[in-house]
Amino acid sequence: MAYKDLTKKELMELKASLEAQFEDKKALGLKLDMSRGKPSTAQLSVSQPILDVLNSKTHMVASDGMDCRNYGGLTGIPEAKKLMADMMGTTPEHIIIGGNASLTLMFDTVSRAYTHGLLGETPWCKLDQVKFLCPVPGYDRHFSITEHFGIEMINIPMTENGPDMDMVEELVSGDASIKGIWCVPKYSNPQGICYSDETVRRFAALTPAARDFRIYWDNAYAIHHLYEDKQIEILDIISECEKAGHPDMVFEFASTSKVSFSGSGVAAIAASKANLDDMEKHLTIQTIGYDKVNQLRHVLFFKDMAGLNAHMMKHADEMRPKFETVLEILDRELSNLDIASWRKPLGGYFISFEAMEGCAKAIVAKCREAGVILTGAGATYPYKKDPKDSNIRLAPSFPTIDELTEAAELFVLCVKLVSVEKLLEAK
């Protein structure tokens, strides 16, 4: 029965029962962390053989004759460009290889625009106002970058097909101070939404008032499927922008941080020739070059897209039971109570949970009190301010199945208890 249909007396009795259960859980002394989308130890072990592909006898020369042990190759070895381009759905001439994290490339791209401007436009630091559009709920680290530079962030609601494009089109075309939009187009963080073909084409067809407006397309989960027979594909934003006559309007990012090792993967940015040439001018000052030996290691280990896809199914075999464990408990315990909703993603690293309005912070606090750490309520919104205080990001990847079961059971108990308390306030 839906909780909202219970009488005040019934809610009070239910509250007493839930409080007793909560104290029992609290007494277990749990210490579980579901706060970030970290690969588990088992997932890291899947990539352990990558350490064996290089040794003192390995031929360290790239296909263009570059010695991977030496200076040079500022934009990456050709084989790595091909591998990352295939992963991102574009072509090698659109690629610059970075270090181990795409987040660094995103930060640097925003930083260059802020201090030096994009393709001859006024540096953002010299403007009175700079704004970014932020689809919500979204990725907290994106929002941290723009907040770091003092950029005003504007919430854009997500739909089943991606950001609300009517709102995006209206804002971008009418306000020259809007310089960018953050996007996670495939298995979005945290909802697991994949942008429809129409959404991608509408992005490519945008007519911004600002000539230096860019789409910051973080394709972090491009190959992070949970199911071999339910894989979503999206259009290539690079080629769609070219078709629409806006080749310079997008920066696309990806990495192998959750493919190989999070601390020593390979990252890449895809963009137009003009954007890459501009970026390279700065890179010649910023670095003598990224780790070409690591780039070669990844190429020798994965070889091609077939190798990448086969590897990712090993990750999926580790991830899928964890997602299904959490979702089964949510379905079993909460589906008929009318106090919450959640999405069932086909890929990515998160489950997005919507509690009753005004309950997310209290639920997260209750979980912490009993030993389960979740992502902070509000983290999926700019400035950590969820206007409804309802979204909670669940990250099932790192704990074991047994730990996840304990954590999910405590979580639903806290959801029930906080929801009952909220309903009693209105009685």
For the stretch 77-112, pLDDT in tens is 999 999 999 999 999 999 999 999 999 999 999 999
Note the pLDDT tens digit of each residue in 170-215.
999 999 999 999 999 999 999 999 999 999 999 999 999 999 999 9
Residue with tokens 């270090």: 99
CATH of domain 3-44+309-425: 3.90.1150.10
Helix (H) or strand (E) holding 354: strand 351-355
**Model pLDDT, residue 109:** 98
Site of tokens 């970075």: 98
Encode pLDDT of 58-70 as tens digits. 999 999 999 999 9
Give 427's pLDDT tier (boundaries 50, 70, 90): confident
pLDDT above 70 covers a percentage of the chain that reads: 100
Give me the pLDDT at residue 36, please: 86
Residue 267 bridge partners (DSSP): 255
**Distance between CA atoms of residues 146 and 137, nearest Å:** 16
Please state whether the predicted TM-score (pTM) of the whole model is above 0.85.
yes
pLDDT at 305: 97
The SS3 of residue 338 is coil
Which residue type does 150 have?
G
pLDDT of residue 44: 96
CATH 3.90.1150.10 residue ranges of the chain are 3-44+309-425
Contacts of residue 340, defined as CB under 8 A and 6 or more positions apart, other chains included, come to: 330, 334, 353, 354, 355, 356, 415, 419
- The pLDDT assigned to 426 comes to 86
Average pLDDT over residues 350-359: 98
Given a contact cutoff of 8 angstroms between Cβ atoms, the answer to whether 206 and 168 are in contact is yes
- The CATH architecture annotation of domain 66-302 reads 3-Layer(aba) Sandwich (3.40)
CATH 3.40.640.10: which residues of the chain?
66-302
Residue 65 in tokens: 């004759």
If you search the block for the tokens 């263009």, which residue do you land on? Answer: 64
| DSSP character at residue 73 | -
Average pLDDT over residues 407-424: 97
Question: What pLDDT does residue 153 have?
Answer: 98
Cβ-proximal residues to 313 (8 Å cutoff; 6+ apart), any chain: 225, 228
On whether the CB atoms of residues 66 and 81 are closer than 8 A, the answer is: no
Exposed e or buried b per residue across 9-37, where buried means at least 16 C-beta atoms within 10 angstroms of its C-beta: eebeebbeebeeebeebeeeebebebbeb
